[in-house]
Amino acid sequence: MSDHITELFDKDGNLIGALLTAPAWTAVRDQVMNCLGIRDTPAEAEKPEPLADWETLQQYWDFPYPVDTDVACEHCGNSTEDWAADDPRKFRLTSANLAGLVSFKCMSCRAKVVKKHFKDKISTECTPFIEAKNASKEGRY
């Protein structure tokens, strides 16, 4: 058919779907969404903060140091001693897991702050928000 479209068939030969390459999807995404009546919602409205995941991490905390709640953005200088106690929030929790990986979104500059909790230390990475992203890659934070 095309290098950009792969049709999918069931065992009886009935068309059940199609796979599009990233460039093809980028080119037709808006038209398909409009035809199907699907509206984009802001990323903040899509997912609430995963506070249950944060609570689970705290419940099973087995690192030799106490739970840390401080978060700092090295790009805009925004910081807090306890991200959960801030009102309004300076940082929004975007993910947390039992392995000790916790990420936040800076509410000032929208940078991504990732805290990696290792057995003997905490490593922090801060990635600036990029307004113009590659539309073929739908990753958002």
CA separation for the pair 116, 102 (Å, rounded): 7
3-class SS string, 99-110: CCEEEEEECCCC
Q: Which residue has the tokens 């928000």?
A: 129
Q: Are 73 and 36 in contact (CB under 8 A)?
A: no
What are residue 128's phi and psi, to 5 degrees? -65, 150
Q: Rounded CA gap, 29 and 121, in Å? A: 43
Per-residue model confidence (pLDDT) at position 44:
46
Supply the pTM of this predicted model: 0.63
10 Å Cβ neighbour count for 86?
14
User: pLDDT value at position 45?
Assistant: 55
Distance of alpha carbon 111 from its chain centroid, rounded?
A: 12
User: How much is the pLDDT for 112?
Assistant: 94
Query: Could you list the mean pLDDT of each consecutive 10-residue stretch along the chain, which spans 141 residues?
Result: 87 93 88 86 67 92 89 92 91 93 93 93 90 64 47
pLDDT at 14: 94
